[in-house]
Amino acid sequence: MLADLLRSLGVPAAGTADVEQLAALYRSALAERRMLIVLDNAADFAQIEPLLPGTARCAVIITSRERLSGLTLRASPHRLTLGPMSEDESLALLTTVLGKERADREPAALASLAARCGRLPLALRVAAERAVTTPDYDLRDLVSELDSERLDVLGVEDADVRTVFSWSLRRLDPDAARLFPLLGLHPGPQISGRAAAAFAGMPHTFARRATARLTHAHLLRAVGRDRYTFHDLIRDYAAELADREVTDTPAAVYRLVSWYLHSTTAATHVLAPFRFDPMAKDELPRGVHPLGWTSDDAGALDALRWCDAELPNFVPIIQLAMDHGHFKLAWQLPIVLWTYLLQRRPWAIWIRSHELARQAAQALGDRAAEGWVVTNMAEGYRRMGELEQASRLYAEARQLRSDVDDRYGLAWALAGSAFLAADLRDDGQAQEFADEATQIFVQYKDIQGQALCLMTRGDVLRLRGDLDGGLALCALALGMMSDIASLEGQVHVLRKMVEIHLARRDFNHALALLDNTVVTSRELRDRWAQAEALTRRGDVLIELGRRDEARASWQQALALYEELDDTTGSRSVRELLAGALPATAAGPGSR
C-alpha cells in the first residue's frame, strides 16, 4: 500500500519492501504538501501507523470499526463515534432512494421500516433498494418480512449486514469471541459485566476485558458503569450465532438465572434483614459469583440501585429460564423480589413476573411453590385496589397452602386475607384471619408477622368504634416493628394510627404521626409511601387552617408522583391544589 501511495505522489519506491524505509519516503514526500488523506475501514492502529504523515500541514480522516487507541500515542485525534441515524435522517435516506411519491404514499410503513432497520445507514439502504427492485411490493409487506427474518431480508450479494458485522468479529480474542454470541441470548435491554461473567462461566476480570474488547469493536455499547447493550441488528446477529455455535445453552442460562436469583436474594436481605426466608435454593453452579452488599445504609442504597437498574431485565430473565426448562429458578426469582416490589411498586412487572412464576410452579406440579406465588399476586392486586381479584386469589392461596400443609405460608395467606377483609370493612373476617395467622407466626417466632396481625386487630377495633383500643394495639405493633428495625412495617402501622387519630378528629396528633411517616418513608427510600404521607399531611393541614403549609406539602407530593410517573397520584394532588386557595386569599377566620 505504501509503495502504491508513493507512486501516486510521484515518488518511485525503488523496489524496497522495508516498511520503515517506505514510511520515511512517504513522510518526506508529504513534508511540503498540504493534503487530506482518507484512511477508510482501518483494521487496527498497526495498519495505519506507517500511513500517518509527519507534518501538521496534512489532515487525516480515519474510519474504523475499532477505537484505535494507539492513535493517542502519536497525535491528539478528534474522535467522532457514529451511532444510528436520527429518525428524520433515516426517513430522508429512505425517501431519497424510494422517491418522494412512494414514500409519501405509505408514511406509517416508512417510519416502521426505519425502526426495523435500527436506523443503520447500510440496513436502510439495503431495505430501500429491495423495495425499489419490487415496485409493486407494499412497504408494509417489507416491514412484515423484517419482523420475521430481518437479517435475511437485509442480506444481498454486495451489501450483507451479516458480512459487515463479521468483519468486526475476525480480530476478537477467544474470550470476547465466546462471550459475544452468549450475550445475544440475554433477553433484557441491558446486561452488566458481572452478569455476563456468570453467563459465560468466566472470572469477572476476563469478562471485563472481553466486554471492553467488544465495546472497542462497536459490537457492544456501554450505557453506564459496567453495563452494556446491543444495537437491535447486532443482537439478532449474536443470537443467530448462538443458535449455531453455543452448545451448552441450557447450562449457560442456568448460570445466568442462578446469578440473578442469588444476587437478588442478597439485595433484598440487605433491604429487609428482618424478613424470614424459608425458601430452599439450589447451590450455585461452579464459577458463578453473585453480588453482595454491606449491611449498612450505603449497602442498602447500592442494593436498591442495583434492583432499579435490573428491573427491566427481571421478566425477560424469568421467561428465559422457563424457555430452557429451569422452572424452579423461574418461580423463585419473583418470590425473592418481594421486598423490592413492595418498596417500588412496579405493578405491571409485579403481576407479570408472578403470572410466569405460577406457570413455572404448575409445570413442576409444585403446589407449595404455587401457594407462595398466588399469595404474592393477591397482595399485589389488593394494593392496586382490585379487591375482587385479590379476594379470589387469597382464597386460592389459603387452599393451596392448606392442601400441602405449608403452615408458615398459610400464615401469610391468612394475614393478607385479614388486611383485605379490613379494607372491605368486614371486621369479623379480619379478626378471624388475623387471630389464626398470629398463632402460626408465634410458632415460627416471626415478629414482623405478629406485629402486622396486631396492627390488623387494632384496625378491627377502629372499625368497631373502639378507637382507644385500636390505638393501643397499633402502638404495641409499632414498638415491635421498631425493635426489628422494620421501616416498612413502621410505615404500615403509622398509617393505621393516623386514620384512628383522624377518626377522633385529633388533627395535631395525626399531623405529628404523618411527619414521622414522611421521615420514615424517606429513610426507607419508598417514594410512593412518602408521596402518600405528604398528600395526607396536606389534608390534615387544611383541617388545621394552615393552607400555605398544606399547599407546600401537596406540591412536594406532586413532585414525587411526577418523578414516579404516577398519573393517578399526580392528577388527584393537582385537583387538591386547584381547590385550595392560598391562606392570603382566604377571608379572615376561614379554614
Within 13 A of 425's CA, how many CA atoms are on the CB side? Answer: 3
Cell 480474542 belongs to 173
Which amino acid is it at 323?
A: D
User: Do 150 and 219 have their domain in common?
Assistant: no
Q: Is residue 541 part of a domain?
A: yes
Terminal alpha carbon distance of the chain: 88
- The span from the CA of 352 to the CA of 173, in Å, is 39
The predicted structure's pLDDT at residue 17 = 65
Tell me what the mean pLDDT of segment 490-498 comes to: 96
Sign of CA dihedral 225, 227, 228, 229: negative
Query: What does residue 222 show for φ and ψ, rounded to 5 degrees?
Result: -75, 130
Cβ atoms < 10 Å from Cβ of 159: 14
Band (pLDDT 50/70/90 cuts) for residue 79 is confident
State the total domains in the chain. 5
- Whether the pLDDT of residue 287 is over 50: the answer is yes
- pLDDT one-digit tens code per residue, 561-585: 999 888 999 999 999 999 875 543 3
Band (pLDDT 50/70/90 cuts) for residue 554 is very high
Q: Is residue 62 part of a domain?
A: yes
- The span from the CA of 220 to the CA of 229, in Å, is 6
Contact between 341 and 357 (Cβ < 8 Å): no
User: Do 490 and 536 have their domain in common?
Assistant: no
List the one residue out of 207, 217, 203 whose CA is nearest residue 178.
207
- pLDDT one-digit tens code per residue, 518-531: 999 999 989 999 99
Pairing of strands 191-192, 227-229: antiparallel
Q: Is residue 544 part of a domain?
A: yes
Query: What does residue 231 show for φ and ψ, rounded to 5 degrees?
Result: -70, 145
User: Do 490 and 397 have their domain in common?
Assistant: yes
Contact between 168 and 219 (Cβ < 8 Å): yes
DSSP 284: P
User: Do 57 and 116 have their domain in common?
Assistant: no
Integer Rg of the chain from CA:
32
Crossing angle of helices 347-364 and 367-384, rounded to 10°: 160
Between residues 511 and 133, which one has the greater pLDDT?
511
Q: Is residue 40 part of a domain?
A: yes
- End-of-domain residue from the set 164, 193, 216: 164
Q: Is residue 160 part of a domain?
A: yes
- Whether the pLDDT of residue 158 is over 60: the answer is no
Band (pLDDT 50/70/90 cuts) for residue 591 is very low
CA 152 to chain centre: 31
Per cent of the chain over pLDDT 70 is 94
- The span from the CA of 359 to the CA of 327, in Å, is 9
Contact between 430 and 446 (Cβ < 8 Å): no
- Range of weakest confidence among 139-148, 465-474, 564-573: 139-148
Between residues 14 and 475, which one has the greater pLDDT?
475
E strands, 273-406, where? none
- Range of weakest confidence among 72-86, 177-191, 508-522, 523-537: 72-86
3-state secondary structure of 39: strand
Between residues 15 and 537, which one has the greater pLDDT?
537
Question: What is each CA distance from 47 to 42, 44, 66, 82, 287, in whole angstroms?
Answer: 7, 6, 12, 21, 38
- The span from the CA of 11 to the CA of 25, in Å, is 8
In sequence order, what are the beta bridge partners of 37? 60
Question: What is each CA distance from 509 to 97, 170, 236, 471, in whole angstroms?
Answer: 72, 71, 60, 12
The predicted structure's pLDDT at residue 306 = 96
CA 297 to chain centre: 22
CA 392 to chain centre: 30
The predicted structure's pLDDT at residue 354 = 98
Tell me what the mean pLDDT of segment 59-69 comes to: 82
Cell 452488599 belongs to 293
Pairing of strands 59-64, 36-42: parallel
User: Do 151 and 194 have their domain in common?
Assistant: no
Within 13 A of 413's CA, how many CA atoms are on the CB side? Answer: 26
User: Do 41 and 135 have their domain in common?
Assistant: no
Winning range, highest mean pLDDT, from 119-133, 233-247, 537-551: 537-551
The predicted structure's pLDDT at residue 585 = 36
The predicted structure's pLDDT at residue 587 = 35
3-state secondary structure of 276: coil
- Range of weakest confidence among 45-49, 52-56, 139-143, 305-309: 139-143
Tell me what the mean pLDDT of segment 98-125 comes to: 83
Tell me what the mean pLDDT of segment 75-89 comes to: 81
User: Do 390 and 500 have their domain in common?
Assistant: yes
Between residues 3 and 476, which one has the greater pLDDT?
476
- Whether the pLDDT of residue 383 is over 50: the answer is yes
Helices (H), 504-546: 507-524, 527-543
The predicted structure's pLDDT at residue 131 = 79
- Cell digits for 470? 385500636
Give the H/E segment covering residue 305.
helix 297-323
- The span from the CA of 274 to the CA of 84, in Å, is 48
List the one residue out of 375, 458, 454 whose CA is nearest residue 410.
375
Range of the structural domain that residue 213 is part of: 171-247
- pLDDT one-digit tens code per residue, 163-209: 777 777 888 899 999 999 999 999 999 999 999 999 999 999 999 99
Which amino acid is it at 270?
A: V
- pLDDT one-digit tens code per residue, 333-354: 999 999 999 989 999 999 999 9
DSSP 585: G
- End-of-domain residue from the set 446, 476, 504: 504
The predicted structure's pLDDT at residue 15 = 60
Question: What is each CA distance from 307 to 233, 267, 268, in whole angstroms?
Answer: 27, 8, 9
Query: What does residue 32 show for φ and ψ, rounded to 5 degrees?
Result: -105, 15
- Range of weakest confidence among 102-111, 404-413, 507-516, 542-551: 102-111
User: Do 50 and 94 have their domain in common?
Assistant: no
- Cell digits for 38? 482518507
Contacts of residue 235, Cβ cutoff 8 Å, sequence gap at least 6: 184
- End-of-domain residue from the set 476, 504, 532: 504
Q: What is the mean pLDDT of the chain?
A: 89
**Residue 461, burial from CB neighbour count under 10 angstroms (0-12, 13-18, 19+):** buried
- Whether the pLDDT of residue 216 is over 70: the answer is yes
- Share of the chain residues as helix, strand and coil, in percent rounded to the nearest 5: 70, 5, 25
- The span from the CA of 542 to the CA of 591, in Å, is 7
The predicted structure's pLDDT at residue 121 = 81
Contact between 316 and 188 (Cβ < 8 Å): yes
The predicted structure's pLDDT at residue 533 = 97
- pLDDT one-digit tens code per residue, 128-137: 877 777 776 6
Band (pLDDT 50/70/90 cuts) for residue 86 is confident
- pLDDT one-digit tens code per residue, 217-275: 888 989 988 999 988 888 888 988 898 888 899 999 999 999 999 999 999 999 999 88
Cell 435491554 belongs to 189
What count of residues does the chain have? 591
Q: Is residue 344 part of a domain?
A: no
Q: Is residue 274 part of a domain?
A: no
Cell 416490589 belongs to 341
User: Do 394 and 484 have their domain in common?
Assistant: yes
> Against a cut of 0.85, is the pTM above it?
no
User: Do 177 and 211 have their domain in common?
Assistant: yes
3-state secondary structure of 360: helix
User: Do 120 and 157 have their domain in common?
Assistant: yes
Winning range, highest mean pLDDT, from 38-42, 299-303, 389-393: 389-393
E strands, 342-434, where? none
- Whether the pLDDT of residue 286 is over 50: the answer is yes
**Which CATH number characterizes residue 177's domain?**
1.10.10.10
Q: Is residue 358 part of a domain?
A: no
Question: What is each CA distance from 36 to 4, 59, 194, 444, in whole angstroms?
Answer: 17, 5, 44, 79
- The span from the CA of 159 to the CA of 152, in Å, is 12
Give the H/E segment covering residue 322.
helix 297-323
- Whether the pLDDT of residue 13 is over 70: the answer is no
User: Do 441 and 495 have their domain in common?
Assistant: yes
The predicted structure's pLDDT at residue 71 = 79
